[in-house]
């Protein structure tokens, strides 16, 4: 028999499988034989004691598939002696090689499981999956549960579909490939978990195995982790149904996932768009995609592939390598955005790109200013924790946001400022009671302190205005023989004393006044 080896997206023909007993080891009181199995470029190790061989042989002879005398006999005396072990090692290798020659294509199920074909070999993997779905597939579909597959399993199914072989090599209807195809056509929730490093005892690297997702016709949600975007084929076929796409530790760009066609057509536009220049392809949009989670990747830019996801409401790009945020103006349905743990230093004119979002996480960046957030008027929840915000004045940029209810500033340099909480809450004026700061509701004591700070601030503002007015009047008085009454009243009744400033609140045209002395330090 021949199988295929990798070359390009899918393999070429290479020599077939072989088996070798390469050694043995003593475990407690019995000998375990170490078997190397080779299938094209894939190799793996299996360990069995003689009793396992005997059990396999009993199953095969019961099915009348092999000669009963093919297996070397069991010996009791000196069973662990070096000479016997070495001789038996060669005899068992010959036994296995004879079996593989006798069953070049349709490997009997007991032999396939004995050599771990169900874990590492294409036919064995698909047969095991088909039998599992024969028994449980309908129940899983009815329950609407998430079904998990490995890239190696998907690779095996993709390979089987490309090979001109029967869908049921073993003759056992339970292992027919049709059970897999029926299941994948109807499955709604899929999780694909890859691995870094070899699979099990094999040399198989899952990230090098291409697989095709076009067999899934009804997916609403897919989660892919620890794969490579280069190995994922058929993603465009999911555009018609997918509502949620989660991709982690698998890509360096959004383009390679959202616009797989870009590798062939560098000049593309979304379907329905008015192309401004000659294009080589009109690419269908993701019609139902509302949630996109591409956190924990190595994405360095928000490229224009987001033009294809206009209906996304929840966007998670946390734990990437973003130093700026572009192109989000194309996502006019955005409600929740997570840009935490990137490399952002500022976010200028955020309202021009983030529209009417309600939740924004910028935690774990390098922000020093909030000047670009002042017009996010729909914002309800804002996470700015673990940044470089040091100046309380920056809070003024978000203090007038009318809908803000939850603000997280924890682990910023400003948090060490005395009375930090009340000074931040005071920036929200009459809305201070409505704001939860750092996951803590505002207390009555804090609100009382906020009211005092607000009164002091207002008094300071009045004092500053009057000071400016007095200066102007003083200048006018030098040029006039009849200075206004408010000028003399102002200059005579409010002397400054020591380190205190005198603040006047005029209640009615300077006739009735209230005077307070405050410490200029505390007024800040």
Evaluate whether 126 touches 44 at the Cβ level (below 8 Å).
Answer: no
Evaluate whether 491 touches 466 at the Cβ level (below 8 Å).
Answer: no
SS3 62: helix
Q: Is residue 395 part of a domain?
A: yes
Q: What is the CATH number of the domain that holds 89?
A: 3.30.1520.10
Q: Which of 42, 46, 92, 98 is nearest to 67 (CA)?
A: 98
Q: Phi first, then psi: what are they for 166, rounded to 5°?
A: -60, 150
Q: Is residue 171 part of a domain?
A: no
pLDDT tens series, the chain, 524 aa: 433 434 445 454 444 789 999 999 988 888 899 999 999 899 999 999 999 999 999 999 988 778 888 888 876 545 567 777 888 899 999 999 999 998 887 788 899 999 999 999 998 999 999 999 999 999 999 999 999 999 999 999 999 888 766 555 555 778 889 999 999 999 999 999 999 899 999 999 999 999 999 999 999 999 999 999 999 999 999 999 999 999 999 999 999 999 988 888 888 888 877 766 676 788 999 999 999 999 999 999 999 999 999 999 999 999 999 999 999 998 989 999 999 999 999 888 888 888 789 999 999 999 999 999 999 999 999 999 999 999 999 999 999 999 999 999 999 999 999 999 999 999 998 888 999 999 998 888 888 888 888 777 777 777 777 877 766 676 666 666 555 544 444 443 444 444 443 434 333 333 334 444 444 434 44
SS3 4: strand
Total number of residues shown for the chain: 524
Q: Distance between CA atoms of 461 and 348, rounded to whole angstroms?
A: 29
**HSE of 186, CA atoms in CB hemisphere, 13 A:** 16
Q: Which of 362, 350, 254, 355 is nearest to 309 (CA)?
A: 254
Evaluate whether 380 touches 403 at the Cβ level (below 8 Å).
Answer: yes
Evaluate whether 31 touches 80 at the Cβ level (below 8 Å).
Answer: yes
pLDDT for residue 5:
38
Number of domains in the chain: 2
For 41, residues 6+ apart whose C-beta sits below 8 A from its C-beta are: 5, 6, 14, 203
Q: Distance between CA atoms of 47 and 57, rounded to whole angstroms?
A: 16
Q: Distance between CA atoms of 234 and 134, rounded to whole angstroms?
A: 25
Q: Distance between CA atoms of 268 and 142, rounded to whole angstroms?
A: 40
Q: Distance between CA atoms of 297 and 248, rounded to whole angstroms?
A: 6
Per-residue HEC secondary structure of 282-302 comes to EECCCCCCCEEECCCCCCCCC
Q: Distance between CA atoms of 451 and 444, rounded to whole angstroms?
A: 10
pLDDT for residue 455:
79
Inter-CA distances, 253 with 158, 215, 248, 281, Å: 25, 25, 12, 20
pLDDT for residue 515:
41
pLDDT for residue 481:
52
Q: Distance between CA atoms of 248 and 298, rounded to whole angstroms?
A: 9
pLDDT for residue 505:
38
Q: Could you tell me the two tokens for 386?
A: 């673990």
Q: Kindly give the residue spans of alpha helices, DSSP state H, lying in 294-371.
A: 351-354
Q: Distance between CA atoms of 502 and 510, rounded to whole angstroms?
A: 16
Q: Kindly give the residue spans of alpha helices, DSSP state H, lying in 328-385.
A: 351-354
Q: Distance between CA atoms of 28 and 298, rounded to whole angstroms?
A: 48
Q: Could you tell me the two tokens for 240?
A: 């018609």
Q: Is residue 91 part of a domain?
A: yes
Question: Among 449, 464, 479, which residue terminates a domain?
Answer: 464
Q: What is the CATH number of the domain that holds 370?
A: 3.80.10.10
Residue 360 belongs to what domain range?
Answer: 344-464
Q: Is residue 98 part of a domain?
A: yes
Q: Which own/partner pairs from 196-201 qualify as long-range (CB within 8 Å, at least 24 positions apart)? A: 196/226, 199/119, 199/120, 199/150, 199/152, 200/44, 200/119, 200/120, 201/44, 201/45, 201/46
Question: Among 115, 142, 170, which residue terminates a domain?
Answer: 115
Question: Among 97, 115, 133, which residue terminates a domain?
Answer: 115
Per-residue HEC secondary structure of 119-137 comes to HHCHHHHHHHHHHHHHHHH
Q: Distance between CA atoms of 340 and 355, rounded to whole angstroms?
A: 18
pLDDT for residue 76:
56
Inter-CA distances, 441 with 54, 142, 421, Å: 71, 44, 11
Q: Could you tell me the two tokens for 498?
A: 């020591």
């Amino acid at each position: 028999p021949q199988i295929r080896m990798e070359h390009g997206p899918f393999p070429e023909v290479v020599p077939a499988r072989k088996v070798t007993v390469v050694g043995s080891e003593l475990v407690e009181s019995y000998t375990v034989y170490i078997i190397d199995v080779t299938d094209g470029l894939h190799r793996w190790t299996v360990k069995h004691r003689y009793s396992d061989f005997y059990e396999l042989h009993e199953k095969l002879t019961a099915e009348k598939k092999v000669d009963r005398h093919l297996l070397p006999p069991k010996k009791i005396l000196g069973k662990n002696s070096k000479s016997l072990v070495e001789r038996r090692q060669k005899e068992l290798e010959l036994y296995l090689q004879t079996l593989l020659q006798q069953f070049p294509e349709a490997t009997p199920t007991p032999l396939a499981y004995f050599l771990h074909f169900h874990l590492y070999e294409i036919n064995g993997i698909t047969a095991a999956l088909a039998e599992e779905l024969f028994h449980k597939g309908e129940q899983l579909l009815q329950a609407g549960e998430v079904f998990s597959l490995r890239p190696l399993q998907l690779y095996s199914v993709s390979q089987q579909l490309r090979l001109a072989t029967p869908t049921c090599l073993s003759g056992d209807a339970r292992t027919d490939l049709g059970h897999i195809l029926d299941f994948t056509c109807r499955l709604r929730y899929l999780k694909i978990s890859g691995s870094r490093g070899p699979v099990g005892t094999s040399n198989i690297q899952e990230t090098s195995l291409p697989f095709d997702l076009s067999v899934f016709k009804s997916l609403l949600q897919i989660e892919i982790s620890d794969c490579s975007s280069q190995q994922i084929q058929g993603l465009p076929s999911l555009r018609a149904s997918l509502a949620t796409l989660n991709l982690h530790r698998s890509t360096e760009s959004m383009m390679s996932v959202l616009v797989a066609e870009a590798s062939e057509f560098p000049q593309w536009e979304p379907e329905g768009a008015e192309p401004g220049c000659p294009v080589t392809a009109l690419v269908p949009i993701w019609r139902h995609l509302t949630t996109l989670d591409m956190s924990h990747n190595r994405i360095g830019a928000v490229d224009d592939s987001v033009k294809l996801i206009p209906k996304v409401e929840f966007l998670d790009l946390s734990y990437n390598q973003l130093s700026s945020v572009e192109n989000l103006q194309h996502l006019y349905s955005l409600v929740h955005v997570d840009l935490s743990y990137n490399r952002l230093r500022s976010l200028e004119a955020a309202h021009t790109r983030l529209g009417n979002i309600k939740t924004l996480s910028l935690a774990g960046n390098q922000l020093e200013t909030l000047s670009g957030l002042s017009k996010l008027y729909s914002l309800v929840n804002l996470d700015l924790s673990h940044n470089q915000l040091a100046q309380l004045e920056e809070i003024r940029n978000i203090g007038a946001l009318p809908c803000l209810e939850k603000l997280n500033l924890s682990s910023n340099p400003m948090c060490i400022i005395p009375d930090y909480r009340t000074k931040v809450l005071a920036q929200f004026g009459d809305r201070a009671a409505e704001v939860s700061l750092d996951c803590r509701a505002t207390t009555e004591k804090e609100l009382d302190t906020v009211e005092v700070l607000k009164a002091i601030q207002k008094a300071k503002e009045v004092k500053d205005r009057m000071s400016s007015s007095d200066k102007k009047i003083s200048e006018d008085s030098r040029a006039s023989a009849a200075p206004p009454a408010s000028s003399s009243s102002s200059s005579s009744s409010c002397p400054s004393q020591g380190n205190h400033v005198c603040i006047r609140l005029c209640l009615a045209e300077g006739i009735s006044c209230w005077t307070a002395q405050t410490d200029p330090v505390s007024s800040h």
